[in-house]
Structures are given as C-alpha cells and as structure tokens.
Amino acid sequence: MSLLVPDAGEVQKNVVTSFCHFVHFFPSRHAAESWSTKHAGILLLSIHDAHILARLKNEAQYRDVLR
C-alpha cells in the first residue's frame, strides 16, 4: 500500500489531490516500488502495518470520541 504524509495546508485546500491520489493498493511489492519511484514522498507499507498505523493515528487524534 502506498501512503503520502500530507502537507496540512494542501489537505485543507483539496484532500483528494493532495492525499487520496497517492493512497493505492498494489498486487505486489514490485508494482508498488515501481509506481513509488515516480512520486516523491511516498511510503510503502504492508496492509497489516497500514492498519496498525491508522489505528494508532485515530486513537491519538480521536481519543475522547473513542472512549
């Protein structure tokens, strides 16, 4: 899975073009690496690691709501 650490200002302007367009699922690590070389700032994560990262981010950001 590809992921881009977004620029907060750009996300405020347009989340789709500044973040969503860079989040993809790939059939193989090779396909992900090939695509990511054409896009600066991309992180590649396994689905498992992406799930953990998302859970931790949501727990930190929405701690009060999730209680």
Predicted confidence (pLDDT) per residue in 31-46, tens digit: 999 999 999 999 999 9
CA 26 to CA 31: how far, in whole Å? 6
CA 18 to CA 7: how far, in whole Å? 8
18: phi then psi, degrees, rounded to nearest 5: -100, -10
CA 28 to CA 30: how far, in whole Å? 5
pTM: 0.77
Predicted confidence (pLDDT) per residue in 3-62, tens digit: 998 889 999 999 999 999 999 999 999 999 999 999 999 999 999 999 999 999 999 999
Q: What's the token pair of residue 26?
A: 């790939």
